Structure 1
């Protein structure tokens, strides 16, 4: 089993690296990015430090790897946060210097395509943090969602247990980042619907692994940063969520089936399934279509888990994925899933 440890936390006043390991969207959409930087300074007391590829669209894998190395190697940088996700961070992984990063461990915050770097860090013995990108969470129009803001603050600056709570209000409908009017007010939200528990008859506490389901599928296909001995994940808590690409129920089932065939699913006595994003600009679903999509995904997950891990405790609609709010979960850190009490507690 990989020995995992939590890197030292930053303090207000420290410098934090802002990098784009996937896409240089800060150069295309400066409004949410600049707002996110401002909030890092004013609301968290951190000084963001940018790197050559942070705002560069079309940067090469080598340029992005160089930024990652520079951020981790600089002793004046106390944490690293991704600007946003993307879709080709997997090309950066072979270029990373594992020993350099292992010798300079720092908290890293990111999600979506940053599942790649989170998995790399976990395999290097370093606990990362799933959540907290600059553009989506810190750059939210009007104000950060209070649950996102509180979770991110706790993950950045504190150590110890933190209880996750179901969203009081949530959303998955976006507005145009290129339109300044988008940032005049907070986005519309809907009342929370709580979590749905399956097999909630036990308490599980283990190290987390997973991330964006599509990225996990790519890592499996490329045979990168996936343990060849599935027992590495025994007793862990599986985190899975889907992106704005909105994979079909068939795709979700197929990926989970293939994980099951590899012997992965049965290793995890608990699965936290993120609330699915059901709307995007290319697929602006009606509320009825969105509900059908979410229901279809849930059935696909249940079908796969019944086949390969029927006793696993499952919690649906946990707010840690591509919807808003976004709760930060330690990646490789300790997660406690209390079925009888229907509570989830993470250790930051």
Structure 2
């Protein structure tokens, strides 16, 4: 295992790459994208730099890999931010130049399908950041969620410890990005319910690994960027979350079961489980149906842990991944989970 390196952070006035390693959705939905770029400039003081495939749907894996190489190799670019996720970033992995990226480490931000690139960077020895896409978090209608803005600003522009906090309010429902009226006001939110802890009788501090559960399953199937030396995860902190595709409880259990059969799940003494997305345009659940879905997912996680890692400390409903607001989690960086104090501290 390569020892992890925290890349230097940009400062106001710096150039940052905006890339689409998965899907060029800025071409289809320019409104949240342009809003996100404007907030990068005005609220973060950074100058976004686009690449040939940033706004191109249907770009080949090689074209997207070329953009990533250009972004990391450019000495005037100080960070790399994904526009959004997608579903085929795994096809880029064999094309990436690990030596080039290792020689030019930069903070990378994204989540969902960007779990592929996070896992690649983990194995390259570069700490990256799970969260903070241009279209979703920076391009949020009305305003950025304060918790999101605070966490993203700390992760993007500063270094050191940052304590995660549960959201006081959160939202699940999305509105149509193609409709300009969507951006006239902030989305409706509902009161938060805090985190739920299990086996919270110890302190775990270690290197983080994980991301979007569906993508982890794909990486395992393709045997890519998941170390065969499972000891690299001993004493680490696993963090997982599910996407807007809303896998069933049984699907979640099966991925975790198979991680257990591989001997992977039980390596981590702590798990942060993200608040699940319980509404989508394909599954417009009522609040009651959404609550049932979340309960089924939690039961699936508990069932897998009971079988393979019964002593793991778990924190449910952490505001990471496909949720709003969203906190950024360093991928491959240090995470401290303090059970007795009910505190989670990350190192950006």
Q: Deviations over 1:278-314 (max 9, x none)?
A: 0000100011110000000000000001110100000
Structure 1: which 5+ runs fail to align? none
Corresponding position of 1:132: 132
Q: How far apart, in 2, do the equivalents of 1:235 and 1:311 lie?
A: 13
Q: Deviations over 1:199-224 (max 9, x none)?
A: 00000000000000000000000000
Give yes or no for the alignment of 1:21 onto 2:26.
Answer: no
Using structure 2 for the length normalisation, give the TM-score: 1.00
Corresponding position of 1:155: 155
Could you tell me whether the CA contact under 8 Å between 1:109 and 1:133 is conserved in 2? yes
Could you tell me whether the CA contact under 8 Å between 1:2 and 1:232 is conserved in 2? no
Q: How far apart, in 1, do the equivalents of 2:251 and 2:83 lie?
A: 28
Matched position secondary structure for 2:214: helix
Q: How far apart, in 2, do the equivalents of 1:89 and 1:343 lie?
A: 33
Matched position secondary structure for 1:3: coil
Q: How far apart, in 1, do the equivalents of 2:83 and 2:321 lie?
A: 16
Q: Deviations over 1:32-54 (max 9, x none)?
A: 00000000000000000000000
Give yes or no for the alignment of 1:290 onto 2:290.
Answer: yes
Aligned-residue CA RMSD (Å): 0.4
What's the offset of the Cα at 1:321?
1.3
Matched position secondary structure for 1:39: helix
What's the offset of the Cα at 1:157?
1.1
Matched position secondary structure for 1:92: helix
Q: How far apart, in 2, do the equivalents of 1:191 and 1:76 lie?
A: 43
Corresponding position of 1:247: 247
Matches within 5 A, 1:320-331: 320-331=320-331
Structure 2: which 5+ runs fail to align? none
Corresponding position of 1:333: 333
Corresponding position of 1:188: 188
Give yes or no for the alignment of 1:76 onto 2:80.
Answer: no
Q: How far apart, in 2, do the equivalents of 1:157 and 1:247 lie?
A: 34
Matched position secondary structure for 1:209: strand
Corresponding position of 1:65: 65
Q: How far apart, in 2, do the equivalents of 1:59 and 1:289 lie?
A: 38
What's the offset of the Cα at 1:172?
1.3
Give the paired residue count.
348
Q: How far apart, in 2, do the equivalents of 1:328 and 1:16 lie?
A: 18
Matched position secondary structure for 1:218: helix
Corresponding position of 1:3: 3
Corresponding position of 1:179: 179
Corresponding position of 1:271: 271
What's the offset of the Cα at 1:2?
2.8
What's the offset of the Cα at 1:232?
1.1
